[in-house]
C-alpha cells in the first residue's frame, strides 16, 4: 500500500513541478531582450518549457513504470535535478553571458566561478537525464512485457 501512495505522490509532484517549470520557461522569455546573451535566453525559454512538458509526460506515465521502490525514488530525484539544473544552467549563462561549453548558442568565456557552475550543471544533468531515460525504458519495457 505504501508503494501506491508513494507512486501517486511522485506522479502528482511531477505534474505540479512540470507545470511550474513550464511557467518558469514562459516567464523567462519576457526578459530575453534584457539578457547579456539573448540567444542563450531563448535557449533558457526552450529548456524551461520542454523540460516542464517532459515532467508532465513522465508524471502521466509514472504509474506504468514497473520498478522497485528504490529505483522509482532515484528516478524521481534524478528527473527533478536534471530538469531544473538544465533550466538553471542555461538561464545563468543567458544572464551572465558565460557558457563556453555552449558555443552554438553564443556562450562566451565568463568568470571562472560561473563557468565552473555552468559546466558542473551541464555535465551532471546530462548524466542524470541519460540515466533517467534508461531507467524509464526499463520500467516501460517491464510494463509492456508483463502478462495480461
- For residue range 86-136, what is the model confidence (pLDDT) as tens digits? 999 999 999 999 988 888 877 778 889 999 999 999 999 999 999 999 999
Query: Are the C-beta atoms of residues 21 and 87 closer than 8 Å to each other?
Result: yes
Q: In sequence order, what are the residues at sequence separation of 6 or more whose Cβ sits closer than 8 angstroms to the Cβ of residue 29? A: 41, 42, 45
Please tell me whether residue 2 adopts helix, strand or coil conformation.
helix
Which ranges constitute the DSSP H helices of 30-111?
38-61, 69-96
Within a domain: residue 29?
Answer: yes
The predicted pLDDT at position 87 comes to 98
Average pLDDT of the segment spanning 65-92: 97
The predicted pLDDT at position 5 comes to 61
Within a domain: residue 148?
Answer: no
Query: Are the C-beta atoms of residues 75 and 58 closer than 8 Å to each other?
Result: no
Within a domain: residue 126?
Answer: yes
Within a domain: residue 130?
Answer: yes
Within a domain: residue 51?
Answer: yes
Within a domain: residue 84?
Answer: yes
Within a domain: residue 47?
Answer: yes
The predicted pLDDT at position 7 comes to 81
Within a domain: residue 101?
Answer: yes
pTM for this predicted structure: 0.92
Domain that holds residue 24: 2-143
Number of domains in the chain: 1
Amino acid at each position: 500500500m505504501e508503494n501506491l501512495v508513494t507512486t501517486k505522490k511522485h506522479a502528482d509532484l511531477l505534474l505540479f513541478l512540470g507545470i511550474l517549470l513550464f511557467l518558469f520557461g514562459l516567464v523567462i522569455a519576457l526578459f530575453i531582450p534584457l539578457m547579456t546573451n539573448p540567444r542563450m535566453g531563448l535557449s533558457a525559454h526552450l529548456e524551461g518549457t520542454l523540460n516542464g512538458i517532459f515532467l508532465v509526460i513522465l508524471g502521466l506515465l509514472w504509474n506504468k513504470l514497473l520498478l522497485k521502490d528504490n529505483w522509482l525514488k532515484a528516478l524521481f530525484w534524478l528527473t527533478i535535478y536534471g530538469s531544473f539544473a538544465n533550466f538553471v544552467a542555461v538561464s545563468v549563462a543567458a544572464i551572465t553571458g558565460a557558457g563556453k561549453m555552449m558555443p552554438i548558442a553564443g556562450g562566451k568565456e565568463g568568470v571562472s566561478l560561473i563557468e565552473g557552475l555552468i559546466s558542473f550543471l551541464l555535465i551532471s544533468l546530462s548524466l542524470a537525464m541519460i540515466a533517467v531515460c534508461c531507467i524509464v525504458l526499463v520500467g516501460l519495457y517491464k510494463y509492456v512485457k508483463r502478462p495480461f
